[in-house]
Structure formats: C-alpha cells, structure tokens
Structure 1
Amino acid sequence: MIITQILARNASMYRDKTALVERTPSLNLRKSITWEEFYTTSNRFANALTKKDIQKGEKIVQLMTNCLEWLPIYFGILYSGAWAVPLNFRFESDKILLCTNIAEAKVFIFGEEFIERIKAVRDELEKSVHLWIFTGPKALCPDWAVQYETFIEPESGNEPPDIDLDIEDDAALYFTSGTTGDPKAVLLTHRNLEHACYIEHAHHGQTHDDIFLCIPPLYHTGAKMHWMGSFLVGGKCILLKGVTPKWIIEAVSEELCTIAWLLVPWAHDILIAIENKELDLSKFMLSQWRLMHAGAQPVPPSLIENWKKYFPDQDYDTNYGLTESTGPGCVHLGLENASRIGPIGLPGIDWEAKIVDKQGNHLFANESGELIVKGPGVMKEYYKNPVATAETLKDGWLYTGDIARYDKDGFIWLVDRKKDMIIYGGENIFPVEIENFFQNNEKIKDIAVIGIPDDRLGEIPAGIISVKPGCMLCESDIIEFQQELPRYKQLKKIFFGDVPRNPTGKIEKPKLRRIYAEDKRKDIRKLLR
C-alpha cells in the first residue's frame, strides 16, 4: 500500500483524532492537527502544485526544521507524483546549491531560518527552480517567494489530484555523503517507503494507542522511518522542538508518550540530570513509557546499563540502518534480546545480512569483514551516479562499507565505521571538509582531522596541526579561526604535531588514531571500571 493511501485510511478511520502535535517548550507553545486536517492539508498542497504545472517525477526540495507543516508538505509532494527532496537543515549555501542542482529541483520549499543561505546562491538556483514557497510568517516572506498558507488556499481542493501512482514509482531523494564528504542522492521508491512502515511496526509492535515522541530532524530517514511504524496504525506523534533533559521528560509525561527514539547524547544528558538531582522522576508520569530505542551511532553498553537502573521496566532496542536501506531496521537487536547489550543484533524482518571478505566470501564468528544487507528497503540507486551505484549495489546486496563481525551466537557487532567518517552526536562529519577549511590558514603547514572517542557524543572531531616553520599558532588562534565553520564541525580537541603521510600522499590516519585516540579510549575504560 502506497503511504499516501495509508494517510487516506487514517483520515477515514481516525478523522477527529490527533495526528501530530508540535511542542515548543522555549516559547511554551503547543499546536496540533487531526488526521483529517493532515490529509486535507496534504491534498490542498498537492493540488496547488499541479495547478502550477508540476508534473509527476519532478523534484521538490524541502528545507525546513521540524514543525507541524513538515509532514503534510512531504505527503503533499508525494500525492502530486513529484519526488520529495528533504535537505539537511545544517547544509550551508554551497551544499544547498549542489544538492538542488543534482536533483534539478523545480520547486523549493524553505523556512525563515534559511533565507540568507538561499540568497547567497539564489541566482544560480534560478536555473532550475521555478517556484519558491516560504513556510515562515507572512511578514518575513521574501518578495521572490509565495507564502505557504496563501499557496494552499481552501479552493485548492481537499481530495488528492488524479495522479496515477504505482508502488514501484520513484518517490524521494535523500542526500547522504560519501567518504569524501560530497553528498550523494539516494533514490527511494514508494515500495521502499511502504516497507519502512511495516518493518518498524513489526519490530516494535505499535498500536493505535501508542504515542511516539519524535525529536530528531525529519529530513533524516531515521526519525521519519521510526515514526512510520506509528503512522501505519494511526498513532499520535509528538514533534518536540528543542532538546533538554527536562523538555524530553516533560513531553513524555504531559503527552503520555509510550515510545521515544533517542540519540546517545540525549539519553546521556538525561542520566546526568537525574544523577545531579536536576530531574526528579517521581514528579513525572512515566509509567506508560514502554520503549526507548537508540541508534544513529554506536550505543555505549554502559549507557544502557545505567539507563536500566532508572527505567528497569522499560523495553530497550538498538537499530542499525543507513539512508541506502531506507533508514533503520535492516539489522536490529530486538525487544526479546534487550539483555544482550553491545551487538547491533540480527537481520530485521524480510532482511538478509552477511559479513564478507574482500572477495565476497561469507565470514563466520569473530572474523571481521564488510557488512552487506539485502531486502525490500534497499535503495534503487545513487541518482545520477552509476559508478557509486555499481560499487555499492551488487547482485541485490547493499555493501554498507561498515566493518562488522559475528559473535558465537550469530549476533552482529560493529567493528569500525565507514573509513574516516566521524559520528558526532548522531551527525556525520567528514574530516576532509574541515581539513580543506584549515588549509586556508597561511600559518598551517598540514592538518589531519580524526575522531576521538567521547562517552556522551560518541566521537568528537580532533585536529593534529603542523605549523609552518617560523610561524606561531596557539589553541586560541585555532578556535578563533574556526568560527566560520558550523559549530558541529568545529574542532573539539587541538593537538600540535607532525602529520604523517604515506608515499602516495595520503594521511596515515590509523597511525594518528593509535597516538591520539587510543589513549582516550584507555582513559574512558578506566572511568568505567
């Protein structure tokens, strides 16, 4: 069943029941819409697009932070037959330009936070973008855009446009990045999206009475695909804008949430707040909270052990996935295996998984190799990138690039991640981007960026900097220089030293990790004893 049909069914079965709630604790605001409002708003948007001659298969960029309008707009795009193209709201102007050009997007939907970033590249974007739709307040709408509420006036029509959609049709482009940091467009079909609904429901058993707390950004497959298990049964979703331990616990308590997917830093911060007496759990209604699941980065076993001390009756699950597998679920621990803390688990429902060597031979217990998966969630292709597609998709198998091993019971453990990528609080950071930035400093001879283990964030970016002869640099100089970088890409640790390179000119990062990262791991292990 195409997911637009699921939305229509929910609107028919649960017409006046709440579908989505937006909570903004910093402003003490709460808004909501029913399933009927969700459905009719999506259809109005789809009809308004078709009146602007948007054809099936054309691409529509969606650059928005989480809000009540996000999902109705996404479904409206799908109802129109166009492809949804959600962009990472942390992208700077150059990445916005690159991704929009790859997609050849005809329509660009954006929030007020992105006006200046778009202005910087709008002249170049005008080559393909014919329509700009602004989702912010009317008073802030640029003169070159149409305001969203004006665009979807009631006369647009409450029923979906007459577009012939098939389950095998292309549906969405989700941008990820390769090991060089260049975004790649993952093409997903309507069948991929449908499968995400059913596998998430199969893994976590959502019912119509479950209430899902959604905190991660909706542009990411992780958050949206976890929500789809609740969506399948018409369950309520709470969109929380802003993340603090108190706001998370308040949302669970006041909205009676039963399921929450947390990134490791958020769970870590909640535990610290409890231990520091900043949160008194006895003051909140939490008995209905039946499931906490985590993913997007390796989950420290010590975190879950501590979590269970405060939430002993709560189920726990960890999920592994990637954009190319339509988000999480190709491997997951499973509620029945929650006592096994450490592995990422077993193949998900309808998925196969193998660990193979460089020749593609199947490996067995305690032998490390590449994790490959096969199932209905595997992407169609990397859009406009046949070389990368051929390297990643082989005989129906998706080569994840992640190194893993089996234990004696057949559970899968991650050994290493894709090449040099740093996972910082659930966000992917590519060292080459930071290295290229710092090469603009005239006093820097060479720089290497690696990930150093961090108990809360998973990894933090660290820089090893070689200074040109006769020049002087100190840590404060580096901190000042990097202010032009997005905050999450700024170096959190700075070392001054030699940057070793091999005969072909490549930085020897394994050597640097042994020098700088291994000592940090030893320190963490000491703290955990």
Structure 2
Amino acid sequence: MRITDILTQNSRLYRDKIALVERIPARSARKELTWHQFYTMSCQLANGLWQHGIKKSDTVVQLMTNNLEWLPIYFGILYTGAWAVPLNFRFESDKILMCARTAEPKAFIFGPEFIEPIDGIRQELADCVTLWIFAGPKETCPDWAVCFDTFIAGQKKDHPPEIDAGPDDDAALYFTSGTTGAPKAVLITHQNLTHACEVENRHHGQTHEDVFLCIPPLYHTGAKMHWMGSLLMGGKCILLNGVKPEWILEAISEEQCTIAWLLVPWAHDILIAIENGTIDLSKYRLEQWRLMHSGAQPVPPSLVERWKQYFPCQAYDTNYGLTESTGPGCIHLGIENSHHVGPIGKAGYGWEAKIVDKQGNHLFANETGELIVRGPGVMRAYYKNDLATKEALKDGWLYTGDIARYDKDGFIWLVDRRKDMIIYGGENIFPNEIENFFLTHEKIKDIAVIGVPDERLGEIPAGIISVKPHCMICEQDILDFQQALPRYKRLRKIFFGDVPRNPTGKIEKPKLRRLYAEDKRKDPQKLMH
C-alpha cells in the first residue's frame, strides 16, 4: 500500500467528515476541510503537476509554514509519483539553495513568507526548476510564479493521475535539522510512510473518534508521523498556529482534542503558567484529553512527574525517532509503562534495537554505547551521499549516533548525542544528565550544557541557564545546588541567557558553542532577573 491509498480510502469512507482544522489564535481565525475536500485538492494539484510534466521520481520542493493546504499539497505531490521535498521554514537562503541543489526539483511550491529569499536564489535554480507555485493570496503572488488556486482550477477532482507505483517506491526527501552538522537528504519510501502510520496507531490506539492536536512544523517527520496514526483511522486533526499555553489549552478545550503531542518547552511553559496562576485549568474542558506524549529530545523525568500532578488521569508516552527512521516510534516507552519515567523505552512495533560498542558488539545493562535500530521505517539512503550512507547503514541496522544504555529491566535510557559528549580530563560527560539534574531546580526554566575548550583539561562543562519569569538566581545559587552532582560533572562556567531551540524543540548547541565556547573572553553574568 502506498501512503496515498489511505487518503483515497478516507475520502470514500468519511467523505463529509472533518479531516483538518486550522486555528490561528492571533487572528481569531478558524478554517476546516473535509476528507473529500482534502482528497480533491490533492488530486487537482497532482493532475496539474502531471500536465506540467512532473512525473514519477521527479522532485517537488515544498517550503511552507503550517496551514490548511500543507497536507493536501504534500499528498498531491505524492499522487504524481514524484518525491515530496519539505524544507525547514527556518532555513535561510543559503540552506534553501543548498537543499534545492541537492534535490534538483522541477517544481517549487512556497508560501508568502518566502517570496524575498526565494527571489534572491531562483536564478541559480533556473537549470532545474521550471515551475514556481505560490501558496498564498492571489494579490501578493509574484509575477514569476503561478498562484496555487489558479494552478489547480479546472483540474480533475475525482481521481489522481494513473501511475505505476508500489509500496517500495521512493516517496520523499527529508533534510535533517543540521543541529550537529550540515543537513543531509534522507530518502524514504512509501513503505516507510505506511509503516509510520501502523507504528503510531499500534502505540496510541487512535480511533476514528479521536481528535489529534498538531502544533509542530509539518515539514518535520515528527509531527506528521504522529498525525499518521489518525490518518489511518480517518480521525480529525487540529493544526494550531501558535504555542502560547493558553492557545494550546483553548484548542484542546474547544475542539475537544483527545491526543496532543507536546514538545518539552511547550509542556514546560504550560506547567509554569499553571504554577504562577496565569492559567486556571478549571476554565477549560479537558476531561476528554486522554493522552499527552512527548519526544524529539530527551524528556526530563522531573517534567513528567510535575505533569502528572496536574493531569493525573492522562496517559503519557515518550517517543524516540530520527528523520532516518521516518520519524518517531522506533523506540517508545509505552502507555502501559508511564509509571517508569526516565527511559525512552523499548523497541517499537515492528522494530529491533541494540546498544553496541565501537566494534559493533552488543552491550548489556548499564554499559554505555551507540543505539542502533532496524525495521521497516529505516530510510533508503542519504541521497547523493554514499559515504554517509555507508557509515549509517550496516547490515540493515541504522546507527543513530545517540549514546544510550539499558537498565536492569531492559528499558533504554538516552544518554546524549555522541557529538555533544564532553571529554573533561579524560572523563566522558554527557550534557543531558547534567541538564536533567538542573531542571529539577524550581527557578530554572531551561538549561543547555556545552563543552568549553580548556588548555589543561581539553574541555570543561559550561551551562547556559534560562531563569523562570519573576525569579532571581545568582551564580552562587547554582554552585550550591550542584554540590549534589559528582565533582567531575559540575559546571565550571555559568552563563545566564536564552537557550535557543529549533522548531522541533532541540537545543541549538552549535549556535551556543559559537556564542560561548568560541569566545573565551566572555564573562559570566552574575545575576539574572
């Protein structure tokens, strides 16, 4: 089965049921699409692309922020047999150009936010891009592009182009976030995508009646693959534009959402708003909210414990995955194990997992090594990068680059990214362990730990600390608090400032290293309000 077959089926089974709702709280706006409207829009785009010469195995770039048309456009591309290439909407012109040169798209679909950056690079893509489609208001469409509504007008609505394609055909190129290096192009298949649907549904038991709240960017595998569990059952999805705690709770209350996937910073902000009285939970209808799950980064156990205090009747799950594993689900805690807070869990549905040393030998309880996974969601390859593919894929196993360990019960604990490890006087320090410790402090909102060069010790651990609103903390408070840590894990430099995170919640450590580790003259700020 191809992923598009599920949409075709949903249009037939749930024709006039609501499939997608877009909420824009900042403008008090709300729009919706039925499953049939979703399908017909995708068919119209597919037929238009097909008539323009877009065929199987061509590539079409999609650069858009979340909106009601995002998913119909994505499926419209897939219906042609072409590869969808969703790009990170935070990429600047140089990275957009780099990704486009790798993908060599014949068509480029973009939103109104990207007119200027694309106009600056489009001449450099003239050798491959023959069609620019503007997914925005007709009156703001640049003269070198065709408006999406105009492009699909008059195209066939009842069925997409007939193509010879199957589950093993390639479907999409996803670029990694680039948090530990330049983005790499991950080639995934229709089988990868359909397996993501099955994994998510097996893990969280979505039914047709469930309502899924989707906030993260759709260009990323995480948000979309979590939604795919609802796609499989024809369930409703709420696309929320905005991450303010009150907007999230209003959406859950007014749309009667039953499942929400929240990044760690958003869950953290909700808890802070509850604790400081900004949010009164009694004003919202939340009794139907049956599951909150999180992932995309290590989830601090202290956050989950605090969450359960306010939402004791909710199920909880932790999810782990990579772009290379077609998103989350290769490892998950499991709703039935939510009492076991801390680890990322065990191998997910259809997946295998091992922790190995540098020679590839299987490690056991409390031995730290690299997490590797194998299953139907493993990418085809890094596109146009044979060396990186050879390093990541060995005998069907995907080497994740993440450092992990088993506990005595067989649960996997994510220790840290291999590239983020700090080598301090010969000792290996994993920043995530220190970050989790400091997040138990009642005044600390967020923290990032990085290695700062040191002539004698190689690297020393430094902490960039963000303080909760209306709280005051100084360097001595941090020094006193960390006495509970082993001496070698204690921070040797302390900075107070913002902790930047990308749209999927991961700390942007390369940016912090440029700001702090590469400037030895920077002095710690002693006090932060």
Instruction: Tell me the TM-score range normalised by the shorter chain.
Output: 0.7 to 0.9
1:4-50 Cα offsets, whole Å, 9 max, x none, are: 11101111110000000000000000000000000111000000000
Q: Which residue of 2 aligns with 1:257?
A: 257
Inter-partner Cα distance in structure 2 for 1:303 and 1:455: 16
Q: Which residue of 2 aligns with 1:268?
A: 268
Inter-partner Cα distance in structure 1 for 2:7 and 2:57: 21
1:166-187 Cα offsets, whole Å, 9 max, x none, are: 1000000000156762111000
Percent identical among aligned pairs is: 67
Q: Which residue of 2 aligns with 1:85?
A: 85
Inter-partner Cα distance in structure 2 for 1:125 and 1:234: 38
Q: CA deviation at 1:243?
A: 1.1
Q: Which residue of 2 aligns with 1:141?
A: 141
Q: CA deviation at 1:409?
A: 0.5
Q: Which residue of 1 aligns with 2:318?
A: 318
Q: Which residue of 2 aligns with 1:484?
A: none
Inter-partner Cα distance in structure 1 for 2:195 and 2:281: 37
SS in 1 for 2:66: coil
Q: Do the aligned residues in 1 keep the contact of 2:46 with 2:161 (CA within 8 Å)?
A: yes
Residue identity matched to 1:13: L
Q: Which residue of 2 aligns with 1:182?
A: 182
2:323 matched to 1:339?
no
Q: Do the aligned residues in 2 keep the contact of 1:107 with 1:131 (CA within 8 Å)?
A: yes
Residue identity matched to 1:364: F
Inter-partner Cα distance in structure 1 for 2:309 and 2:237: 27
Q: Which runs of 5+ in 2 are unaligned?
A: 422-430, 436-447, 454-458, 469-494, 499-506
Q: Do the aligned residues in 2 keep the contact of 1:265 with 1:456 (CA within 8 Å)?
A: no
Inter-partner Cα distance in structure 2 for 1:75 and 1:83: 10
Q: Do the aligned residues in 2 keep the contact of 1:41 with 1:158 (CA within 8 Å)?
A: no
Q: Which residue of 2 aligns with 1:382?
A: 382
SS in 1 for 2:419: coil
Q: Do the aligned residues in 1 keep the contact of 2:57 with 2:81 (CA within 8 Å)?
A: yes
Q: Do the aligned residues in 2 keep the contact of 1:184 with 1:382 (CA within 8 Å)?
A: yes
Q: Which residue of 1 aligns with 2:3?
A: 3
1:323-361 Cα offsets, whole Å, 9 max, x none, are: 000000000000000001100000001100000001110
Q: CA deviation at 1:155?
A: 3.5
Q: Which residue of 2 aligns with 1:230?
A: 230
Q: Which residue of 1 aligns with 2:161?
A: 161
Inter-partner Cα distance in structure 2 for 1:197 and 1:44: 24
Matches within 5 A, 1:114-133: 114-133=114-133
Inter-partner Cα distance in structure 2 for 1:226 and 1:250: 21
Q: Do the aligned residues in 1 keep the contact of 2:47 with 2:155 (CA within 8 Å)?
A: no
SS in 1 for 2:19: strand
Q: Do the aligned residues in 1 keep the contact of 2:19 with 2:33 (CA within 8 Å)?
A: yes
Matches within 5 A, 1:53-92: 53-92=53-92
| Alignment CA distance shift 1:450-1:112 (3 Å) | farther
1:366-391 Cα offsets, whole Å, 9 max, x none, are: 00000000000000000000000000
User: How high is the TM-score relative to the length of structure 2?
Assistant: 0.82
Q: CA deviation at 1:490?
A: 6.0
User: How high is the TM-score relative to the length of structure 1?
Assistant: 0.82
Q: CA deviation at 1:77?
A: 0.3
CA RMSD across the alignment: 3.0
Q: CA deviation at 1:125?
A: 1.5
Matches within 5 A, 1:292-311: 292-311=292-311
User: Would you say how many aligned residue pairs link Structure 1 and Structure 2?
Assistant: 460
Q: Which residue of 1 aligns with 2:472?
A: none
Q: CA deviation at 1:160?
A: 1.1
1:181-230 Cα offsets, whole Å, 9 max, x none, are: 21110000000000000000000000000000000000000000000000
Inter-partner Cα distance in structure 1 for 2:12 and 2:87: 31
Residue identity matched to 1:93: S
Q: Which runs of 5+ in 1 are unaligned?
A: 436-447, 458-474, 480-486, 501-511, 521-529
Inter-partner Cα distance in structure 1 for 2:231 and 2:154: 25
